[in-house]
Each structure stands twice: as structure tokens, then as C-alpha cells.
Structure 1
Amino acid sequence: MTEERKLEDLELFEKVSMREQVKKELSDQHGPIKDALRDVRYKIAILSGKGGVGKTSAVINIAAVLKQMGFEVGIMDADVHGPSVPKMTGLSKRTELHGAWGMEPVATDQGIKVMSVSLFWPGEATPVMWKGHHKARVIRQLLASVQWGKLDFLLVDLPPGTGDEPVTIMKSIPGLDGVVVVTSPQEVSVAVCSKAISSANELNTPILGLIENMSDFRCPHCGGEIALLGQGRGEDLARTYKIPFLGRIPLNELAGKAADEGVPVVAQYPDSPVSVAFRGVTDKILEILKKKGEKN
């Protein structure tokens, strides 16, 4: 056997060994994760292909609408490098640790339970420099250790793209009810978002629907609508992949203002066009979950 062949065999062996190790860790963690989420009725991940499309804003406001409807809601911020859920919900408290692994989520003023790396990380300016396999392991440990209690909905805010965190979440959560995909009308966002949809399909994760965020801007003076970032591309993408189109969220200055104030726009400015749109999107998600439950 040549040295080159030996090297190829060694590389193949290492790849197989790593794959088996990952499978074993997933199997070992699956039981604790299932146990930690046993009292959560619906588990939904929110995914985007590209950053900057307002995915976290969608997560926070859908959660706030659900809470206003009387549901018990939690948000897991799975973006370990750029967690922003606590900032956008006005949280400054730290999480409480119970024993070696137990972690208590922190409730917002609206009563939404939140868990994020930033709730126990030492300082906002301290970077999280976890890599690949270690990062996936930490996410699984978080899933297994957070004490959510009884929830109707757990929304998982995934980082953009199709890297370690989204794949880990979609593989690790037992009985994940599906993902909601968020895009903007920009052509580049829609193109990248198609990869996120394909990744969910490859992992056999149900797609509940697609939201087009940052859609038409409505003039506050004349009421006219202007398609600043393009028009109709989100709905076209949903049609192409044969997934439900959940609706358009318009561009609105109040959404940014509410985020800076640390309050969901649906709570701070309930009559704004963007709040009305978020309520419509949430109603469609509930309708889809209801139909899914009837089929099962």
C-alpha cells in the first residue's frame, strides 16, 4: 500500500470516527433535551439565509402577539456570536444557575421567557469565539439544561445561514414542529434564502411558511406604498418551493424605534401597520399548526 493510499485511508477513518462521535453525542443528548422540553407544546425555529433581514424582530413580535393571545411563550436565542434578543426585549437581568446544569430563563416585561448566551456571558464587549463542534455541543447542552416549565410555544431564533447552529437545532430538537423562514424582498436575500429552505428540506424539517420582512414602505403623509427593496419576490420564492406564504411585514420607522426601546413593536405601537401585519402572520402560523394537528 502506497503512502498516498495510507493517507487517504487515514483521512477517511478520521471522518467516519468524527461522524460516529457526533451521532453518539446527539443520541446521548437526545434524552435530556426531550426531557427538558417535555412540557413545551410547540417548538418552532425561525430561519433566514441572510443576516439583516429582521429575523430577530420577527421572532420577538410573533412571540409578543402569542403572549397577548394568552399563550405561554419562550424564546431561545441560538445566535451565540451575535445574540440580540435580550437587548431588543429590554432585558438586563442575568440568568440564575441551579446546580451544575440547570438554568432559569429570564422573563421580559411582557412575560416572555428568554434564554441567551448574553444572559450569562461576561460582558457585552467580550466576544464568543467558540468554533464548530464545540459550538454545537454548547447549544445542545443549553437545550438540555434550560428549565422552561410549561410553555405553549418555544421560538428558537437561529443565526443566519446554514452553519453549525441552525443544523444543530434542526437535528437536536425532538418533535420540532417546523421552521418559519424570513427574507426581505431584495434579490440577494431571496437567492440566499433559497439555500436555507433547501437545508431544511434536506434535514426533513417541516417548513411552516415564509415571511417577507421589510416589504413596502407606507408613506405616513399620503398613505401611498413604495417598494423600496423590490416587490413580490418573497411570495414568488414561497410559490417556487410550494410552501405557505405567511405575509408581508412593511418597512416602518416605529419598528426600529421599538427595538431601540427594548419593547416589541406590537406592544409599544399596537396600531401601527407593522403590528397589524405581525398579528396577521401569527394568525396564519396558528392556522397552519391547527391543520397540521388535525392531520396527525
Structure 2
Amino acid sequence: MTGKVVLRSSNRELLGGTVNLYPDQSRHVVSLPPGRAVVFTDGMDRPIRVDVPLGEDRERVLAARSVTVAATRSVACGAECRNRPCVLREVNRAAQLAENPQVVLWIELLTAAHLVGRPAPRPDRWWLTELRTVSDRRTLECAVAHRVQAAIDTRYAGLTAYYQPEALAEHLVAVALCALDGKPSRCDEAEVWWQAGRHRWADVLRVLRSAAPGDPRHPDTDAWAARGLRLRAMTAAGQLAELRAHPDLWLPPRSVVTGDGDPVAVDAALDRLSPPGDHRIRLLEATRFLDLTTAWPTAVFGQTKRKAA
């Protein structure tokens, strides 16, 4: 069954043929006032006119329901996003800030530092002050969440072999927000559990390289075994040779640390900050706003730009 409700129409001829109106009825329908309509359905010879009371006296305004956050879109979301849902305008503003090439470099190198066992880079105070000046707290938190989630996403498949990547995302956000607030993060080379890929045993490699010729097996050998690295040689030199032949030092793809983009995010940011040239020099120049302690990023990202293998 089909039905038609006519509220008002300026086309009398079309309307009259549609609902079977007499000519004088067609003229009347074009001037129907509010609350009055013509109704027609299958099986009726002629339409009928109905009056619909306005009913404002029966209406009432209901109190708006408060909206709570059932779950955030990412584990990287900060406190502001957890307390109140972000509106689209706020999300877009944060996404735009997250594409700032210096913000990209900061979060990408913060991520890589954890994966290769290096101290977390801390931005210069003047840069952080400028960032806080141009953006409110919610935007900053959301931009950090955007960037951290992007960094984890491009490494996710590789990191799952070592730990749950979401745990690293939460840690990276905490470290980044401490930097924004000017607070110490307690983030240093001692956090060996975040190391992954070819750098999984970076701390062990550094220790064994520093051993003197003739040193016996290292006293931390049992602790390394508890982490999954079993070195059976009886001297430090023998352990170093054994470690260098370990598949973990050459088998995992570089993308576990650099990300699998083409180009990787660090290279894409460099392309927006400097003209083509020596990649290592460009990287050092672009990261002057970061306290890196050493030039370790050149060893990780300083190769000729190419897709991470």
C-alpha cells in the first residue's frame, strides 16, 4: 500500500492528476495553511483533507544527556581527550600540527631512540615554548597522540615480535608530555626492554665492545640469558664474536626501527625542511632543536634515502 500526503504545491495540474483532485480542489491545495494537508492512499476514490493540531502545549524541552567517553580512538590519547570527546574541528587542528616536520622528527626520533637503546631526545626550551604558544593543551596532546600512533603504526608488525606495541605508544606519549611540561621523564639507556630489531641487544654489544682483551665472560651473562640471549663463550671477546654472528643483529628488517614508509617519515620531514644534499648533514642540521646527546640518528637514518628494507 502506498500513500501520499500533500502539504502544499504550486503545480496544480500535476498534483490534481496524482491524487485524483477536482479542478476546484486543485486550486484550494496550492494555498493550504500550516497544519492542514491532503491525504490520499490506494483504494480511495478521492483524497481527504486533514487538520493537524500544532500541539506546542504538549511539547517540552528535555534535558540534554551528558556524553561520556566510552573509549578513546587510540591508547596514545592524552588526559584531555579521555575527559571529553574531541570534536572534528579539534581533531583536524591537531592533525595539522602533527604534520609539522619538526614535530615529526621529534616523535620519530623519540620512538627510534627507544628501539635502539639511546637516551630520549629532548627539544630545546625555546622550541617547546613556541609550540605551547601557538597551540592549546588539548591540541598539543592530540597532536602528540596522532604522531605517536603514526610512528607505531608504521612499525607495528615488526614490534609485535618483541612486545605489545601499544605499551610503547603509551610510554612515548608519557615521555613527550613530560617534555612539553618541562618535567624529567626518567627515560634513558637503561630501558633495554624497548629495544627491538637489529638493536635488540644494543646494550650488550656496547658492553662487550668496551671489554679489555683477555676479560672473562661478562658478569651480566646470566641476566642476558634471562632476556633470551644465551652466549656460551668463556671470554668477553668470544661472547662479542658470538653476538656479532647472532641472527638478531642482521636478520630483522631495518623497518622495525625506521618504519616502513616510502619514504620513511624522517626522510619525508627532511624533504620539507632542507633542499637535497648529503643526507647525514641534512639530518644533523634539521635536528638542532633536539638534544640528542650523540649523533646516533645518522647511524640509523643517515644512509642514502631509500625505502627501509
Structure with higher strand content: 1
Q: Structure 1-normalised TM-score? A: 0.30
